[in-house]
C-alpha cells in the first residue's frame, strides 16, 4: 500500500470520527491524569453511559498540559464544539453526562473552555485562556486531542509526511534543512542538531546507530514522559528521519522503567509502524532498512549522560567516559552514534513535515523554535507548557503559571532540573534561551522549572538538590565523587546551625573545582545550585552562619515553637494533637512546649485556631514563656 493510500484511509477514519452522530468523550488518561483519578472517571463514564443507554465514543488521550486541572475530559456533541472540563470527580462526571448529553445543559461552571468551530455561551475559547494563550504549541499540539494508540489519528494530522518527504531527499539536503531551522538539542546542552548529524554522517564506517534519550530523571520533570504518552509517533518519525540521514540501520530508545505507560504506547506504536511499513526492511519501498529496540533504564540519573547511557545499553555499569572521541565518531560499541532526546526527535519530524523557515519563525535569534517545560513548585497553575524560546521567566511564571500560590511573593526559580541554577526576582525579565540562562549561572536542561516562594529557604533547597546529585554520582571521577560529598556536608552543617565563617568561601572553591574538573555533565553542573544561591542569596547563608538563624523558618535545627501566654486560651487542641506529647497544660491553663521533646513538626501551629494564633514559630529569637502551665487568669 502506498503512503497516499495509507493517508487517505487514515483521513477517512478521522473524518468519520469528527462527523459521527455519536457523542465523543476524550478522557485525559496520561500518568498525571491517572494519578488524579482519571481511571475512576473513565469507569464512571462507562457506567453512566450504560445506565442511560447512550452510545458514545470514549477515547483515552494523553496529557494536555493543564495538570493543575486534572482529571480532565472533553465532550463533543454531534455538530457542536468540544467542551473541556476539569477538576472532575466520578460524581461530577456522572451528573455532567446526565445534564449535558441528555438534557442539554453544558455546565459552564465545570468547563475550562471550548475547542473547535462555533462557541458555547458562558464558556471561553480554551486557547484564549491565560494559561494557554502565551504558549506556542507545536510538538504538543496533538497531545490530549488524538488517540495516542491510533497511528491513523497521527497520520490524519500530518504524521509521517515528514518521513515520506525525507526519503525523497539527499541526506545532505536534510542536514542542511535541520541546520537552517536552527534546531538545537533539547536535552540540555543545546548543541546544534544539524551539525551533530553532519559529524555522524561523515564519520567513517558502515555501521551506525541512532539513540533516543528518554531517561528523564530530573525531580519534577515530566516533559518527555508526557510526549511519549500523548504522541509517541512524532518521536518515532523523527528517529527514522535521523537514521536515514546519517545512514543508521539500528536504533534504540532508552526509557526509564518507571514510565510504564510511555513504554506500553511506544511498543504499540512500533508494532503499528511495522504494519504500515514505516519501520523495518525496505521502508515505504525506499530500500532503506531501520529497526528500533527499547532499552529500559533502571533509574540511574547519570544514565541521562550520553556515554553512560551507551554503556548501559552495552550491558555495562552506567558510567560516563572521557571525550573525545565523541559519540558521533565512536559511540555505541565503538561505532558512530547519534543521540538526541525525545523532544528533539519530535522537532525533527515537525521540521520535515513543515519547513525549516516555518520552524525558525519561532524563538529568538540564537535559540530557534519552542521548548517544553514542566512548570512546578509554588505556582498557581502547574503543568506542562510549550513556549517560544526568548519568552521571559516572568511571562512563564505570572502569565502562564498565574503567579505564586496563595498570593505570596516570588523568591526564585530553578531551571534545568537538580543541576540548574536558582534565579532571583531580579531575573524575571530575562529571556529563556540557552545563552541568557548560561550567563545567569543556570542551564536550560531538559526543561524542569521549579518555582520557590518567600517561605523557601534557599540554603535548604540547595541542600536538597545536592543530596540528589551526590546520591546519583556514579563515583568514577574524584571531583564529583568527593566534591559533591564535601559540599553536601558543609550545607548540612550550615542548616544545623553549625556553620563557621569561611564556609561560603569554601563552598565556592569546591563548587568551582567540581565544575571544572568533573568528567561528565552531572558533575559539571551539580554545583550550579550552590554557585547561584551564593551569588544571589548570600544574605541567607550569612544569617545561617553568623546569626544561627533561618530567615524562612525552615531549617529545623534553627527554629523553635512557643505558645504565647497572652494568647493561649487553654483549649487543649495543640496538646491533644502533639505526636510526641511535648505539650503540657490543661483546660484554662497556658500550655507549655518542652523544647527538649519538641521535634519541630509544626503540628501545634497548624491546629491552633486562627482566632487565637497562640503558637509562634521563631528562629534566632528568645521568647519569654512560663516553664510550667499556669492559669489563664494569672497570666493576664
Enumerate domains of the chain plus CATH numbers: 9-128 (3.40.30.10), 160-360 (3.40.50.11540), 370-453 (3.10.20.600), 458-546 (1.20.1440.230), 559-635 (3.30.70.20)
Residues 370 and 387 sit within 8 Å (Cβ to Cβ) = yes
What's the rounded Cα separation, in Å, for the pair 178 and 175?
5
Residue 635 banded pLDDT, cuts 50, 70, 90: very low
Query: Rounded to the nearest 5 degrees, what angle is found at the Cα of 422, between the Cα atoms of 419 and 427?
Result: 135
What's the rounded Cα separation, in Å, for the pair 498 and 506?
15
What's the rounded Cα separation, in Å, for the pair 183 and 287?
28
Structure confidence at residue 218 (pLDDT): 85
Q: Which residues pair with 213 in a beta bridge?
A: 254, 341
Residue 181 has pLDDT above 70, yes or no: yes
Q: For residue 412, what are the CA distances in angstroms to 243, 393, 442, 463, 545?
A: 41, 10, 12, 15, 21
Residue 273 has pLDDT above 60, yes or no: yes
Structure confidence at residue 455 (pLDDT): 96
Residues 370 and 389 sit within 8 Å (Cβ to Cβ) = yes
pLDDT in tens, 389-435: 999 999 999 999 999 999 999 999 999 888 899 999 999 999 999 99
Please report the sign of the dihedral spanned by the C-alpha atoms of residue 433, residue 439, residue 442, residue 446. Answer: positive
Structure confidence at residue 636 (pLDDT): 43
Structure confidence at residue 633 (pLDDT): 67
> What average pLDDT does range 494-519 have in this prediction?
97
> What average pLDDT does range 174-188 have in this prediction?
95
Rama region for 65: left / alpha / beta (φ>0; ψ in -120 to 50; rest): left
DSSP 8-state symbol, 101: I
Q: Give the up-direction half-sphere exposure of residue 339: CA atoms within 13 A in the CB hemisphere.
A: 25
> What average pLDDT does range 512-525 have in this prediction?
94
> What average pLDDT does range 551-573 have in this prediction?
96
pLDDT in tens, 578-622: 999 999 999 999 999 999 999 999 999 999 999 999 999 999 887
Q: For residue 344, what are the CA distances in angstroms to 226, 230, 236, 437, 581?
A: 14, 16, 11, 19, 55
What's the rounded Cα separation, in Å, for the pair 200 and 132?
38
Q: Which residues pair with 376 in a beta bridge?
A: 450
Residues 448 and 417 sit within 8 Å (Cβ to Cβ) = yes
C-alpha cell, 394:
516572568
pLDDT in tens, 132-148: 999 999 999 999 999 99
> What average pLDDT does range 2-9 have in this prediction?
96
Structure confidence at residue 187 (pLDDT): 82
Residue 359 has pLDDT above 90, yes or no: yes
Structure confidence at residue 632 (pLDDT): 85
Considering the entire predicted model, what is its pTM? 0.94
What's the rounded Cα separation, in Å, for the pair 345 and 82?
30
Would you state the torsion angle of the CA atoms of residues 194, 196, 198, 202, taken in this order, to the nearest 10 degrees? Answer: -170
> What average pLDDT does range 101-114 have in this prediction?
95
Length of the chain (residues) = 636
> What average pLDDT does range 546-554 have in this prediction?
96
Residue 189 has pLDDT above 90, yes or no: no
Q: In this prediction, what percent of the chain has a pLDDT beyond 90?
A: 93
Task: Output helix, strand, coil percentages for the chain, rounded to the nearest 5.
Answer: 45, 15, 40
Q: For residue 450, what are the CA distances in angstroms to 9, 375, 422?
A: 44, 6, 9
Q: Tell me the H-state helices in 526-623.
A: 528-536, 538-546, 573-577, 603-607
Residues 180 and 355 sit within 8 Å (Cβ to Cβ) = no
Query: Rounded to the nearest 5 degrees, what angle is found at the Cα of 327, between the Cα atoms of 303 and 226?
Result: 45
DSSP 8-state symbol, 421: P
Q: In the block, which residue shows the cell 568527593?
A: 482
User: Mean of the per-residue pLDDT values for the chain?
Assistant: 95
If we measure between CA atoms, which residue out of 562, 591, 558 comes closest to residue 576? 591
Residues 138 and 362 sit within 8 Å (Cβ to Cβ) = yes
> What average pLDDT does range 314-337 have in this prediction?
95
Residue 634 banded pLDDT, cuts 50, 70, 90: low
Structure confidence at residue 556 (pLDDT): 95
What's the rounded Cα separation, in Å, for the pair 612 and 566?
10
What's the rounded Cα separation, in Å, for the pair 245 and 175?
7
C-alpha cell, 556:
529545623
Higher pLDDT, 452 or 188: 452
Which helix or strand (DSSP H or E) is residue 13 part of?
A: helix 3-18
Classified as helix, coil or strand, 565 is coil
Amino acid at each position: 500500500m502506498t503512503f497516499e493510500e495509507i493517508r487517505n484511509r487514515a483521513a477517512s477514519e478521522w473524518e468519520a470520527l469528527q462527523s459521527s452522530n455519536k457523542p465523543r468523550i476524550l478522557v485525559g488518561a496520561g500518568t498525571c491524569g491517572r494519578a488524579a483519578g482519571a481511571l475512576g472517571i473513565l469507569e464512571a463514564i462507562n457506567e453512566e453511559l450504560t445506565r442511560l443507554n447512550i452510545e458514545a465514543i470514549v477515547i483515552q488521550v494523553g496529557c494536555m498540559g493543564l495538570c493543575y486541572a486534572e482529571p480532565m475530559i472533553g465532550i463533543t456533541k454531534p455538530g457542536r464544539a468540544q467542551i473541556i472540563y476539569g477538576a472532575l470527580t466520578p460524581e461530577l462526571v456522572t451528573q455532567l453526562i446526565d445534564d449535558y448529553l441528555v438534557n442539554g445543559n453544558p455546565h459552564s461552571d465545570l468547563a475550562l473552555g471550548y475547542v473547535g468551530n462555533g462557541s458555547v455561551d458562558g464558556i471561553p475559547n480554551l486557547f484564549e485562556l491565560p494559561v494557554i494563550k502565551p504558549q506556542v504549541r507545536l510538538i504538543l499540539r496533538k497531545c490530549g486531542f488524538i488517540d495516542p494508540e491510533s497511528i491513523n489519528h497521527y497520520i490524519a494530522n500530518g504524521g509521517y509526511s515528514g518521513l515520506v518527504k525525507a526519503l525523497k531527499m539527499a541526506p545532505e539536503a536534510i542536514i542542511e534543512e535541520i541546520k537552517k531551522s536552527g534546531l538545537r538539542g533539547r536535552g540540555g546542552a543545546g548543541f546544534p542538531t544539524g551539525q551533530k548529524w553532519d559529524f555522524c554522517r561523515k564519520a567513517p564506517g558502515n555501521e551506525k546507530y541512532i539513540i533516543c534519550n528518554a531517561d528523564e530523571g530530573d525531580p519534577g520533570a515530566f516533559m518527555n514522559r508526557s510526549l511519549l504518552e500523548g504522541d509517541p509517533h512524532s518521536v518515532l518519525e523523527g528517529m527514522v528521519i535521523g537514521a536515514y540521514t546519517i545512514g543508521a540501520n539500528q536504533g534504540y530508545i532508552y526509557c526509564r522503567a518507571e514510565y510504564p505507560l510511555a513504554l506500553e504506547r511506544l511498543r504499540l506504536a512500533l508494532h503499528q509502524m511495522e504494519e504500515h511499513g514505516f519501520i523495518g526492511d525496505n521502508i515505504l519501498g525506499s530500500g532503506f532498512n531501520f529497526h528500533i529496540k527499547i532499552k529500559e533504564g533502571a533509574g540511574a540519573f547519570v544514565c541521562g549522560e550520553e556515554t553512560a547511557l551507551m554503556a548501559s545499553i552495552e550491558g555495562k555499569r552506567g558510567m560516563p567516559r572521557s571525550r573525545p572521541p565523541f559519540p558521533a565518531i565512536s559511540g555505541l560499541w565503538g561505532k558512530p552514534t547519534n543521540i538526541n532526546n525525545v523532544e528533539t526527535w519530535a522537532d525533527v519530524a515537525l521540521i520535515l513535515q513543515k519547513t525549516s523557515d516555518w520552524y525558525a519563525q519561532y524563538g529568538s535569534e540564537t535559540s530557534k523554535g519552542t521548548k517544553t517545560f514542566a512548570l512546578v513548585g509554588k505556582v498557581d497553575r502547574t503543568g506542562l507548557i510549550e513556549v517560544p524560546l526568548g519568552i521571559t521567566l516572568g511571562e512563564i511564571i505570572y502569565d502562564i503559571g498565574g503567579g505564586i500560590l496563595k498570593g505570596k511573593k516570588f523568591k526564585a526559580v530553578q531551571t534545568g532540573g537538580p543541576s540548574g541554577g536558582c534565579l532571583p526576582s531580579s531575573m524575571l525579565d530575562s529571556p529563556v534561551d540557552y545563552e541568557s540562562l548560561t550567563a545567569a549561572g543556570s542551564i536550560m536542561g531538559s526543561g524542569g522549572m521549579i518555582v520557590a516562594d518567600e517561605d523557601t529557604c534557599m540554603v535548604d533547597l540547595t541542600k536538597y538538590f545536592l543530596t540528589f546529585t551526590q546520591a546519583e554520582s556514579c563515583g568514577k571521577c574524584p571531583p564529583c565523587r568527593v566534591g559533591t560529598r564535601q559540599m553536601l556536608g558543609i550545607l548540612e552543617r550550615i542548616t544545623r546551625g553549625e556553620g563557621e565563617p569561611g564556609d561560603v568561601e569554601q563552598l565556592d572553591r569546591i563548587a568551582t573545582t567540581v565544575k571544572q574538573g568533573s568528567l561528565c555533565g552531572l558533575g559539571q553542573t551539580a554545583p550550579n545550585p550552590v554557585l547561584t544561591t551564593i551569588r544571589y542569596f548570600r544574605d541567607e547563608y550569612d544569617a545561617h552562619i553568623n546569626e544561627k538563624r533561618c530567615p524562612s523558618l525552615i531549617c529545623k535545627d534553627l527554629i523553635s515553637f512557643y505558645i504565647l501566654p497572652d494568647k493561649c486560651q487553654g483549649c487543649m487542641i495543640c496538646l491533644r494533637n502533639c505526636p510526641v506529647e511535648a505539650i503540657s497544660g490543661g483546660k484554662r491553663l497556658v500550655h507549655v512546649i518542652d523544647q527538649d521533646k519538641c521535634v519541630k513538626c509544626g503540628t501545634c501551629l497548624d491546629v491552633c485556631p486562627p482566632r487565637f494564633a497562640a503558637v509562634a514559630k521563631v528562629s534566632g529569637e528568645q521568647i519569654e514563656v512560663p516553664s510550667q502551665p499556669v492559669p489563664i487568669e494569672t497570666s493576664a
